[in-house]
Amino acid sequence: MSKTTNILLSGVGGQGIILASKILATGLMNSGYDVKMSEVHGMAQRGGSVTTQVRFGEKVYSPIIGKGQADILVSFEEMETAKWMEFVKPEGTVVINTFRIPSAPILIGKADYPEGVIAEVKSNVENTQLLDAATMAKELGNVKAMNVIMVGALVKGLGLTDINWEDVIKSLVKEKFIELNVKAFNLGFNAVK
């Protein structure tokens, strides 16, 4: 296997995961890495699960990874974390946004929102970090900024500090949202070790 870093982002349609992945992939490309990004489209915008993969390194072949190969899983929704755990290396990292979006079976009372996800993830992957991005985003005045808060946290976790992320954000978001997103990025960046 080539030396490539594998990142998995998961969450729910509408949470801005595709934009988050684009910011990440563009930053990596700008700093000279080979990058491939894969996303699952289709029925996802209708409240379904969404996942993207970003792979970077000197030379990247496959745009997707197999089970047990993600170095980092960044989960934008608590319950969605569980579905992608089999893709995470046991010695990898999991970053969870402790934000809950009940799915259809939960809304109609056929199932309960699972309570033990975080504990179970922690028992499997030692390096698990929690983030309350919803509260942080509300402080910024826009709950939708959660996605860029998560990117900030991820970038810090990866140690990708020598890339000009502010320029990347400027190139990808509408002008009136630049300030909000830069703030969100920094908030996430400073929230993790």
Partner 1 sequence: MKKLMTGNEAVARGAFEAGVTFASAYPGTPSTEILENMAQYKADVYCEWAPNEKVALETAIGASIAGARSLAAMKHVGVNVAADPLFTFGYTGVTGGMVLVSADDPGCHSSQNEQDNRYYAKFAKIACIEPSDSQESLDFMKEAYKISEDFDVAVLFRMTTRTCHSKTLVEEGERVPVAMKEYVKQPGKYVAAPATAKKLHPIVEDKLVALEKFSNETPLNRVEMNDKKIGIITSGVAYQYAKEVFGDKASYLKLGFTFPLPMDKIRAFANEVETLYVIEELEPFIEEQMKVAGIDCIGKAVIPRIGELNPDIIAKAILGEDRPVVQMSEESIVGRPPTLCAGCPHRGFFYALTKKRNVMVTGDIGCYTLGAAEPLNMIDTVIDMGASISMGHGAAQAFAKNGVEKKVVSVIGDSTFFHTGVNSLMDVVYNGSNTVNVILDNRITGMTGHQENPGSGYTLMGTRAKEINIPALCAAIGVEHIQTINPLILDDVSKALDEAFAFEGPSVIITRWPCVLKKFSPEDIKEFDLAPSVCEVIDEKCRGCRVCTKTGCPAISFNKETKLASIDKTMCVGCEVCLQSCPFDAIEKVGK
> Applying CB under 8 A, which residues contact partner 1?
1-2, 12-13, 22, 25-26, 29, 34-49, 60-69, 79-80, 82-83, 85-86, 88, 90, 102-114, 116-117, 120-121, 124-125, 143
Positive or negative: CA dihedral 14, 30, 149, 153: positive
Residue 104: burial class (beta carbons within 10 Å; 0-12, 13-18, 19+):
exposed
Q: What is the DSSP letter of 114?
A: P
> How near is the Cβ of 40 to partner 1 at its closest, in Å?
6
> How near is the Cβ of 46 to partner 1 at its closest, in Å?
4
> How near is the Cβ of 82 to partner 1 at its closest, in Å?
4
CA distance 187 to 191: 6
Q: Which is nearer to partner 1, 120 or 132 (CB)?
A: 120
CA distance 152 to 146: 10
Q: Which is nearer to partner 1, 62 or 98 (CB)?
A: 62
| Helices and strands in the chain: count of H runs, count of E runs | 8, 6
Residue bearing tokens 């379904």: 48
Q: Which is nearer to partner 1, 44 or 160 (CB)?
A: 44
> How near is the Cβ of 190 to partner 1 at its closest, in Å?
27
Q: Which is nearer to partner 1, 86 or 166 (CB)?
A: 86
